[in-house]
Structure 1
Amino acid sequence: MAQSKGSVWPRIAYACGTFGHDVFYAMLATYFMIFVTSNLFNSGNATHDQYMIGIVTTIILILRIAELFVDPFIGNIIDKTKTRWGRFKPWVIVGAFVAAISLAALFTDFGGLAASSPTTYLILFAIVYFIMDIFYSAKDVAIWSMIPALSFDSHEREITATVARIGSVFGGQLVTVIVMPVVLYFSVNQNGGAGDPTGWFAFSCIGGGIATLGAIILGLGTKEQDSALRENKTDTSAKDVFKVLTKNDQLLWMAIAYLVYGLGINVVNNFNLYYFIYVIGDATKFSILGVINTIIGLLAVALFPALTTKFSRRKLFFASVAIMVLALVIYAMSGTNVPMALLGAGLFALPQPLVFLVVLMTITDSVEYGQLKLGHRDEAVCLCVRPLVDKLAGAISSGVIGMVAIWVGMTGGATAADITPDSLVHFQFIMFAVPIIFLVIACFIYRAKVTLTEQEHAKIVRKLEETWTEINK
């Protein structure tokens, strides 16, 4: 993005793109499974409904795991893309448009096929979900791979990423604010506060439209930076893609730590609405959490450049996880106390944007680390790792959500009054205790294996500036 320091419009345009992108991600990662478990299969035959939920959950998990092998090749294709509009923007805009249409289709029963012909429905579901996921993946890789094209300075990257993350936090949390008001407004049947299929379809159309509009603004307002350090003598071949990922040890270990961390936070984030519907018994209070998370999330992201100036990224990562563990303890003790639940859930969300930026910046800096170590620059291949890990963690979490929802009776037309004390204990153990374990493990991995600091990256860039032009002749 050929922009000088402090250039405002390109960063605003980029933030609009990430805003819409996280609106879409929240719809897909968090609220789609709520639609599946509470609305899509509600035939009155509990055994059949639970069977269909299990099959859909399994399909999502299989497709997401398959993407582990597809996403790096998507990144490789993006790295080789050369158009008059740049390397990344075509993928962002086309990906947004196709993914939005596909997701809207998934928020339906395909014209009644879920009830009249379950097998046909499942086949169509797998096809449409695969199309949606591939185009979403292409957009996800492209939009975040733009960061190393902006600057080679770590601090400058942090500022740009901060602006982008402000957009994405606002987008993701806006969904939390509007989801239930929108769903219930367009629903004919309130369904115990969970809405009906008409309401969820309207929600998907609105969210998909916002995501597409954001992508178009990004495309119109940004321009990639040209630099000799971004040029390779040869392209990375398909057979060498996984070699790039596995031999870049800092990228690999950051990805592993982030995966374990992601498993922990996704379980909690995905269960938040379940908690308000089936434990507290008032889904309307969930919008308050969205407002709280938007305010504190924007504040946390805005402080990121200042925090990394005063504290290292490593210290910020550990402090953030410590706050999350404390928050989960408070949340677990809240019961049906709404203010206490909002405090725990809000405190848990507070450091998440900071951890995201720490991970994003470390992975971004691993581009130059790998460039120096392997003699080849692979921006999109490296940056595809973060969304790949997000989607894998999301897929595993979705599987957990589906199985636990069936296990504790949070499906179909169930209400808070239907949840037994034993089921509530099981639910709280999965929602609170298991994530704490994952968060602690992630900290141990990060502390032991991730050594790419801001200072080390600066040394790497200086070395590349001295040697890259000669190496790449």
Structure 2
Amino acid sequence: MATLPYAEYHPGRDAARSDESQHAHIGEKPLSPLRLAGFASIAVPIAGAGLPLALFVPQLYASEFGLSLAAIGLIFLVGRFWDVAADPIVGALSDRTRTRFGRRRPWIALGGLLFGLSSALLFFPPAALVTPAYLAAVLFLFYLGWSMVEIPSSAWAGELSAHYHGRTRVVAWQALLRSIGLLAVLVLPTILDQFDPGNGTLKLQLVGGFILLTLAPSLVLTLISFREPPLTETPPVRQSFARAAALVFSDRPLLRVLAADTIVTAGQSIRAGLIVFFAVWYMGLPAWASGLYLLQFIFGVAAAPLWQRIGTRIGKREAAITGELAQAAINIALLFVFPGGLPLLIALTIAQGLSQGSGNLMLRAMVADVADAHRLRTGHDRTGLFFSVFALSAKLGPALGIGIALPLIAWAGFRAGPGNAPEALEALKYVFALGPALAHIIATLIIWRFPLNEAAHAEIRRALEHHAQKVGTGFSQK
């Protein structure tokens, strides 16, 4: 395919140009909240599966089914590598898919069925069949189904609206439903512990039942809530995956977004990984170890609509910067929390919940804008591949954060138990507070010069629509 004319984009435009961009897509139909909620509902079971996969599955398969911890660790390590590899493969293939049902819908439908089947096998395992080979095979199918749902649905979300702020709205609904899914899998086992503590099998089945019960209706709602927008390019020229990947990783705005999200996620994983140690051993509040994490997620449900409004008012880049600086300040304020100082810790936890994911939300909303700029420059729509690359940050970030934080506090002399020296406890506090704060500051510096603001994106959309009209495909939203 011939390369399309490339519109240079710059963050600074005069007032007239900016005002014009406000009305660039005035003909686009607004997306109803009810339909957006239905479309985003698939995030509930998908997000709800991640936490128990880390918390309950390894422990249960070791204690209840007798698998060795070494075997489980190796299986999960290999499974994570497969998970990382599957994302870009699914993203690239969904970009190339051409069916009368659309590009993304067939992948989500098949992936949902595979995800449901593998979830049933993972969370309700037949005891007589459980072996290391069984766990490895089920995880292989589980991660593949997860990728087949998550990557195409993320790409489709970026295509629902061509409007700069419309995309923020779509991503905010996804973030809201994702928070609800995470909150549910935190609350349900907590309630169970009040009536039947220590019942790991029932806990696993309770979470598995939640995933399966929410998957069926949410999958249907996601598939029927919207029609896929018409393609705005002629059938793609076949390219090798290596060539497409090279072009993607040479896209500097995408790399800027990916790097920022990876650093943000790393900082969040430091906080999540150390919060129990901090509450139990530094604060001396073991009863609040799980409660603080749950409290943060309860207020985190309100974060998505809050930051969607902020992003619509001031722009994605500015909202991302504001959110990252707010989270940096909240984490630095933890230095002023001392043992027994529960009120200030609760206040900072609530503030953390209200700012939770603000940067991640805006960065995710930026990916579709970056994909538009890439399509204008190259003539190829690689939205699915772009979102699959962006998904890597959710997997690289935690590995980076925990891989730095745990060895660092161990080097400072901290051990998970009583009898730590005051210096070791202070080191724990400083890593817990300053590790995430530094990550948020670095992410701010990375995204500071991101070039795609609302006016620049409006120019890119006008150029793409002009080209679509020339080739006769159009871009009207259905």
- Equivalent position amino acid for 1:391 in 2: K
- The alpha-carbon distance between structure 1 residues 347 and 309, as it changes in their structure 2 partners (threshold 3 A), is same
Asked whether the 8 Å contact 1:149–1:224 carries over to 2, the reply is no
Partner of residue 142 from structure 2, selected from 132, 135, 145: 132
Between the aligned partners of 2:203 and 2:213, the Cα distance in structure 1 is: 16
| Structure-2 residue corresponding to 1:244 | 247
Per the TM alignment, residue 451 of structure 1 is displaced from its structure 2 partner at its CA by 1.8
Q: Secondary structure at the match of 2:41?
A: helix
| Structure-2 residue corresponding to 1:17 | 42
- The alpha-carbon distance between structure 1 residues 458 and 183, as it changes in their structure 2 partners (threshold 3 A), is farther
- The alpha-carbon distance between structure 1 residues 84 and 375, as it changes in their structure 2 partners (threshold 3 A), is closer
Per the TM alignment, residue 214 of structure 1 is displaced from its structure 2 partner at its CA by 5.0
- Percentage of matched positions with identical amino acids: 18
Between the aligned partners of 1:54 and 1:401, the Cα distance in structure 2 is: 23
| Structure-1 residue corresponding to 2:11 | none
- The alpha-carbon distance between structure 1 residues 289 and 33, as it changes in their structure 2 partners (threshold 3 A), is closer
Equivalent positions of 1:203-282 (< 5 A) are 203-229=206-232, 231-272=234-275, 275=278, 280-282=284-286
Between the aligned partners of 1:162 and 1:438, the Cα distance in structure 2 is: 23
Structure 1 stretch displaced more, 175-184 or 52-61: 52-61
- The alpha-carbon distance between structure 1 residues 302 and 53, as it changes in their structure 2 partners (threshold 3 A), is same
Between the aligned partners of 1:79 and 1:249, the Cα distance in structure 2 is: 21
Q: CA offsets, 1:200-249, max 9 Å, x none?
A: 31343134224513532434532333334255443554343302311322
Equivalent positions of 1:71-470 (< 5 A) are 71-102=87-118, 111=127, 121=132, 124-183=134-193, 185-187=195-197, 189=198, 196-229=199-232, 231-272=234-275, 275=278, 280-282=284-286, 286-287=290-291, 289-291=293-295, 293-294=297-298, 296-331=299-334, 333-397=337-401, 410=416, 424-425=425-426, 427-448=428-449, 450-468=450-468, 470=470
Between the aligned partners of 2:75 and 2:408, the Cα distance in structure 1 is: 17
Answering whether residue 6 of structure 2 is matched by residue 5 of structure 1, we say: no
- The alpha-carbon distance between structure 1 residues 229 and 386, as it changes in their structure 2 partners (threshold 3 A), is same
TM-score (norm 1): 0.78
Per the TM alignment, residue 34 of structure 1 is displaced from its structure 2 partner at its CA by 6.5
- Equivalent position amino acid for 1:461 in 2: R
| Structure 1 unpaired stretches of 5+ | 115-119, 190-195, 411-415
Asked whether the 8 Å contact 1:268–1:435 carries over to 2, the reply is yes
Structure 1 stretch displaced more, 73-82 or 169-178: 169-178
Between the aligned partners of 1:42 and 1:226, the Cα distance in structure 2 is: 49
Between the aligned partners of 1:9 and 1:221, the Cα distance in structure 2 is: 12
- The alpha-carbon distance between structure 1 residues 18 and 334, as it changes in their structure 2 partners (threshold 3 A), is farther
Larger radius of gyration: 2
Per the TM alignment, residue 358 of structure 1 is displaced from its structure 2 partner at its CA by 0.9
Per the TM alignment, residue 458 of structure 1 is displaced from its structure 2 partner at its CA by 1.1
Between the aligned partners of 1:174 and 1:201, the Cα distance in structure 2 is: 13
Between the aligned partners of 2:278 and 2:62, the Cα distance in structure 1 is: 20
Between the aligned partners of 2:160 and 2:322, the Cα distance in structure 1 is: 29
User: Aligned pairs, how many?
Assistant: 441
How much is the aligned-residue C-alpha RMSD, in angstroms?
A: 3.8
